[in-house]
Amino acid sequence: SSVAASNFIRNIIAEDLAAGRHTRVVTRFPPEPNGYLHIGHAKSILLNFGLAADFGGACHMRFDDTNPAAEDMEYVESILRDVRWLGGDWGDKLFFASDYFERLYAFAVELIQKGRAYVCSLSEAETRELRGTVTEPGRESPYRNRSVAESLDLFARMRAGEFPEGAHVLRAKIDMAAPNMKMRDPPIYRIKRARHYRTGDAWCVYPLYDFAHSLSDAIEGITHSICTLEFENNRELYDWIVEHLDVPSRPRQYEFARLNLSYTVMSKRKLLALVKGGLVTGWDDPRMPTIAGLRRRGVTPEAIRSFCEEIGVAKTNSMVDIAKFESCVRDDLNLRAPRVMAVLRPLRVVLENYPEGQVEEIDAPYWPEDVPREGSRKVPLSRVLYIERDDFLEDPPKKWFRLAPGQQVRLRYAGFITCREVVRNEATGEVVELRCTYDRPTKSGEAPDGRKPKGTLHWVSAAHALPAEVRLYDRLFTVERPDAVEEGKDFLENLNPGSLVVLSGCQVEPSLSTVEKGSHVQFERQGFFFVDPVDSAPGAPVFNRTVALKDSWSR
């Protein structure tokens, strides 16, 4: 199955092919290189590349880079890396709308010559004033009936750089009374004095979205131009543009519901604000919903794919619970992350009846029984161990199945221990050590007399453990819809102050001393972790928590 396996767009394509309207399907993924891709883009990537692959067609990788202000080569490179990582294969079909500037300019001239566009010299405020409202028709610009010759002359001089920004725009001459506001003589070219990351200062007029997008599709022979629902009203203008020009092909636009995910934001402007404001460490901060962030957190392309398959492609917008995404991530990692033991907040345990200097190597499986994979590692057991600080309570409530004075627990793979004495720091009163006894005959996990402690703890041998840094990532925002804020409030007020907890004194089992950057592991009882590909060093791994074992938010 694939993201494209079953949806209304697939049906449209199948019908178009059956009816002979097209012999081959050509889609495109058209990001603007003004930021990094996020999980919402992944949905579009998997849909566009998936449809092309399923029907034996092609999906073009096109940069919609006609707005010089915020575009950059860094973004182009990151986008290509992310699309490739998600499995998007564009072959040799890599395009830049900025390569079409000369052709787009010629199309604009053609539109003027046909009497379908004019140079308008109203100010922005005057233009707004005349546009009307949803209920009231707009009024015509006094420049609407400029002669073709005058518009052609002004447009050439706009290109030549004779005018300041805002002095003139080129507008399509459609209908100021159109019920669809997008059809009220929309601007299609404007003067913009900004350096373009690819064409430099060659241009000072740039085409606007609807004009550039529809014509780029037509130039490339795109058959099905798939975009999100916000562009539904733009479709009429898209059609108008390709109908009124002598274009090499006739593409059609189809809209689907964008992905909205709870507890995060996806607008590039907001993601950029997080990066620029230093509120995250960068576009690839593991808390970001960006592809780069998810990758660094330890999410796999397969998990993203199965999530996008599960949510499907719909015609109405909705909010997807991030818990659904986390659940796909868990299901994927369950089959790829070997189980190991790591103590994040260590508390020393001395097994008083365990001989000093003795070490036992326990053979411990990497996989639980329900994962069909093989393999084990040696886990050393010795007199001094670490357990998790919060697995011990001196004065526990009822039904506390972990360690407490006088209470017995099972150590994973090692047998039972009973807590006999609590040692504290005399000055601070803090518990610094537990003196325990080890119940050797229970090493297999079962006692000969059938005793069965309810709790099983993870642990490491103090002398053998490897110190490590662990980064506990959590949701970036505390509310479901961080950007639904009241007037005067900022979405940044909804940031989760606990979205990152760095633990530097962790102790992990020695098998992890050779773990490679970019490996997945499960720390038993705690979650799935990923060896940070940037900050880890040989013998000094940094572990990013990809996702906790269960959804701690719904408990």
Q: Which of 227, 404, 460, 472 binds ligand ATP (CB under 6 A)?
A: 227
- Report the alpha-carbon distance of residue 127 to residue 131 in Å, rounded: 6
In the bound state with ligand ATP, the residue whose beta carbon lies nearer, of 220 and 388, is 220
- Report the alpha-carbon distance of residue 119 to residue 150 in Å, rounded: 8
Q: Which of 32, 153, 239, 483 binds Mg ion (CB under 5 A)?
A: 32
Q: Which of the listed partners (ligand ATP, Mg ion, none) does 217 bind, with a CB threshold of 5 to 8 Å by partner kind?
A: none
- Report the alpha-carbon distance of residue 236 to residue 134 in Å, rounded: 16
Largest CA distance in the chain: 102
In the bound state with ligand ATP, the residue whose beta carbon lies nearer, of 270 and 348, is 270
Out of 28, 184, 268, 410, pick the active-site residue: 268
- Report the alpha-carbon distance of residue 433 to residue 438 in Å, rounded: 15
- Centroid of chain to Cα 316: 21
Contact 272, 35 (CB under 8 A): yes
In the bound state with Mg ion, the residue whose beta carbon lies nearer, of 32 and 321, is 32
If we measure between CA atoms, which residue out of 276, 216, 288, 281 comes closest to residue 248?
A: 216
Q: Write the CA distances from 551 to 24, 227, 342, integer angstroms.
A: 45, 33, 20
Residue 162 known to be catalytic: no
Q: Which of the listed partners (Mg ion, ligand ATP, none) does 41 bind, with a CB threshold of 5 to 8 Å by partner kind?
A: ligand ATP
Residue 422 CB, shortest distance to ligand ATP, in Å, is 53
Q: Rule CB under 6 A: say whether 259 interacts with ligand ATP.
A: yes
Binding to ligand ATP (CB under 6 A): which residues in 51-110? 64
Residue 542 CB, shortest distance to ligand ATP, in Å, is 30
In the bound state with Mg ion, the residue whose beta carbon lies nearer, of 258 and 295, is 258
Q: Rule CB under 6 A: say whether 268 interacts with ligand ATP.
A: yes
- Report the alpha-carbon distance of residue 147 to residue 118 in Å, rounded: 8
User: Does residue 259 have a known ligand-binding role?
Assistant: yes
Q: Rule CB under 6 A: say whether 43 interacts with ligand ATP.
A: yes
Q: Which of 41, 196, 287, 458 binds ligand ATP (CB under 6 A)?
A: 41
Kindly state the DSSP code that residue 257 receives in the 8-state scheme. Answer: P
Residue 30 CB, shortest distance to ligand ATP, in Å, is 5
Buried b (16+ CB within 10 A) or exposed e, 228-239: eeebeebbbbbe
Q: Write the CA distances from 239 to 98, 138, 150, 223, integer angstroms.
A: 21, 21, 27, 13
Number of residues that bind ligand ATP (CB under 6 A): 15
User: Does residue 33 have a known ligand-binding role?
Assistant: yes
Residue ranges in contact with ligand ATP by CB under 6 A: 30-32, 40-41, 43-44, 64, 227-228, 258-259, 266-268
Residue ranges at the known binding site for ATP: 32-34, 38-44, 228, 258-259, 266-268
Residue ranges in contact with Mg ion by CB under 5 A: 32
Catalytic positions, written as ranges: 32, 258, 268
